[in-house]
């Protein structure tokens, strides 16, 4: 059983990221869905519908919720669903993060959360590279 995946993002962001990741990696091994949050959205209007979406996503291994912008309405909604061992939340989703999640979809929930966070961080570079002593770009 694979961890379920739910993206809660600003309009079109989640669907676009999922489409790109699927075209690069193929289908995700687990259940996947996205929620598009509009600019004028009231968070309380999303809570019940997302609660209903989470249940079928969980095949017994939990659900990883990814959201796009820390501190925004989508991320504030996403954090409402955090439940240790059942629903993990990672904020700041980008395409490198999502590809890492697709590539490690057989991982358990906690490991997949860590892979997601590192994938997002490790996929950001300054060009041209300016290598520091620790091997990371400035």
For 86, other C-beta atoms within 10 Å of its C-beta total 13
Residue 95: exposed, middle, or buried by beta-carbon count in 10 A (0-12, 13-18, 19+)?
middle
- Band (pLDDT 50/70/90 cuts) for residue 25 is very high
- Predicted local distance difference test score (pLDDT) of residue 45: 87
Mean pLDDT across the stretch 61-75?
Answer: 97
CATH number at residue 80: 3.40.50.510
Q: How far apart are CA 53 and CA 43, in angstroms?
A: 15
Is 129 a member of any domain?
A: no
Kindly report whether the peptide bond that precedes residue 127 is cis, defined as omega within 30 degrees of 0: no
| Percent of the residues in the chain that have a pLDDT greater than 90, as a whole number | 83
Q: Is pLDDT above 70 for 60?
A: yes
Q: Rounded CA gap, 129 and 127, in Å? A: 5
Closest CA to 53 of 101, 2, 12, 4: 4
Domain-embedded: residue 135: no
Q: Is residue 106 part of a domain?
A: yes
Look at residue 16 in the predicted model and tell me its pLDDT.
Answer: 99
- Domain residues for 64? 4-122
Confidence band for 135, pLDDT divided at 50, 70 and 90: low
Examine residue 138 and state whether it is found in any structural domain, yes or no. Answer: no
Q: Is residue 62 part of a domain?
A: yes
Most confident of 19-23, 35-39, 124-128: 19-23
Q: Is residue 116 part of a domain?
A: yes
Q: What is the pLDDT of residues 74-128, one digit of tens each?
A: 999 999 999 999 999 999 999 999 999 999 999 999 999 999 999 999 999 888 8
Q: Is the pLDDT of residue 138 over 60?
A: no
Number of domains in the chain: 1
């Amino acid at each position: 059983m694979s961890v379920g995946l739910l993206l809660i993002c600003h309009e079109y962001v989640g669907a676009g990221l999922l489409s790109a990741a699927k075209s690069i990696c193929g289908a995700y091994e687990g259940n996947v869905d996205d929620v598009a949050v509009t600019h004028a959205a009231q968070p309380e209007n999303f809570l019940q519908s997302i609660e209903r979406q989470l249940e079928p996503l969980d095949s017994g291994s939990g659900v990883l919720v990814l959201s796009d912008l820390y501190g925004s309405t989508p991320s504030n909604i996403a954090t409402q669903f955090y439940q240790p061992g059942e629903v993990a939340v990672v904020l700041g989703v980008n395409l490198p993060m999502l590809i890492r999640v697709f590539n490690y979809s057989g991982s358990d929930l906690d490991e997949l959360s860590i892979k997601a966070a590192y994938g997002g961080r490790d996929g950001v570079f300054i060009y041209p590279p300016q290598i520091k002593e620790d091997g990371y770009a400035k």
